[in-house]
Each structure stands twice: as structure tokens, then as C-alpha cells.
Structure 1
Amino acid sequence: MSLQKLARELDETGRQTSEMLEGISQALTLLAQKPIGDDPKVKQAVHLIITALQGQDRIEQRCRNIALAARQFALLPPTAPESVYAEIWESLTLDELRVPELSGVARNHSSGDADLF
């Protein structure tokens, strides 16, 4: 698979995760309506859904970042030094992609609180 194709697939993955949220957003709107929205269990469920939605946002953002890196890698000559690849990773906006020590471990650092983007 070429790096350009990989980038397109990552873009599509991000798009699909975003598209699936429409139904979830509609469900949230229904849950927030009175009187059901006053139920503490419903409020807790809404909070859990919102946290999951924010996780989707992070996945979509990761896909965009990895696709950007793949496109930049595809432009490099085969003789490009490793430092150029490292520079591309360092330019990404998500710490778990940009900082090698955090790569692949973000899921292990959850506080249980929703991340705000």
C-alpha cells in the first residue's frame, strides 16, 4: 500500500467515525428533553455519551495527523535521514503522536474525566 493510499484510508476512517455521530447526537437531544432529562441516571448516561463523543474526536484528529505524516513521508526521497522523519512526527499536534514516549499509551492515562478540545 502506498503512503498516499494509506493517507486516504486514514482520512476516510476519520470521516466515517465523524459521520456515525449524527444518530448519537440526536439521541442526546432526546435524552436532554424534560422531564426525562432531569433523571440522575439519564444525566449520568448523557455524561458518558459525551465522554465517548470526545474520544471519537480524538480518533478523528489522530487519523488526520497520521494521514498528514504519511503524505509528508511520501514526498521524501528514499535517502532521507531518520531525523527528517522524526521532525515530521514532532510537528504533529497530538502529544501521543508527537512525543515518542507517549506513542500508543494515551489509553493508559485516562483520568475518567472528559477531555475538552
Structure 2
Amino acid sequence: MTLNKLARELDETARQSAALVDGITEALELLSSSDAPSAQTRKEVARMIISALQGQDRIEQRCNNMALAVRQFALLPPGTNPAVYDEIWAELVLDELRVPSLTSAGHLSNGDAELF
């Protein structure tokens, strides 16, 4: 179960990485269109880039949390009750953007970007 859970979390992290790249690609396509980007387009591109930065931060935190879990697993003796592994997983926060204290990337509020 533990390795299956880790595999699912790694799959989700890979999915999030792909979504991040898609967002950046879309932002670059908007900026590189043949028409000069309007102020509204530039604002939208900035929002997209900030969202991608949040995604990168989320991925970094997910990886750090999964690494912490694996280090804790490595310290457990053979034959450890599976409930102990489940407890370690339960203590992790893998949805970092829901918990503001776990993400350092900017958030949009009142139309202003605050990156740090």
C-alpha cells in the first residue's frame, strides 16, 4: 500500500508539472501573438505566470513532503504495522495551495500580485 500510495502521489506530481508547463506555454502564446498585447492581455499573462509560480511551489512542497515520508518509512523496522505507514501519510499535507503557510508563491488579491 505504501509504495502504491507513493506512486499515486508521484503520478499526481507529474500531472501538476505538465499543467504548469501548459500554463506557461499558453501565456507565451498570448504574448507572442501577431497583435500587440493589450494591457488586459498583459494582465492576464501576468496572472497566468503567477499561477504557474504557485504550481511550481506546490510541486516543490509535494516533493519535500513525499521525501519526508519516505525518510520516515526507511527508519521503520521490518514488519511494522501497516497502520503506522498510513499514519505517516495522514500527517502529510499534499494539497499545499489550500494551506497558505505552506506556499511562498504569490496570490492574486484585489488584482495585485504579491510574489514574496
TM-score by length of 2: 0.61
Q: Which amino acid letter does the alignment assign opposite residue 5 of structure 1?
A: N
Residue 82 of structure 1 corresponds to none
Checking the alignment, whether the CA contact within 8 Å between 2:24 and 2:49 is kept in structure 1 is no
Gaps of 5+ in 1: 79-96, 98-103
Q: Which amino acid letter does the alignment assign opposite residue 51 of structure 2?
A: A
Indicate yes or no: 2:14 matched with 1:15. yes
Displacement of 1:9 after TM fit?
A: 2.6
Tell me the percent identity.
11
**5 Å matches for 1:1-117?**
1-2=1-2, 4-33=3-32, 34-37=34-37, 39-77=38-76, 104-106=99-101, 112=108, 113-115=113-115
Displacement of 1:35 after TM fit?
A: 2.1
Aligned equivalents of 1:58, 1:24: Cα separation in 2:
14
Checking the alignment, whether the CA contact within 8 Å between 1:36 and 1:42 is kept in structure 2 is no
Aligned equivalents of 2:76, 2:102: Cα separation in 1:
34
- Equivalent pairs, count: 90
The C-alpha deviation readout for 1:3-49, integer Å capped at 9, x for no partner, is x4333332222111011234323321221024242x00000000000
- Over 3 Å counting, the alpha-carbon distance change for 1:29 and 1:73 in structure 2 is same
Higher strand share: 2
Gaps of 5+ in 2: 78-95
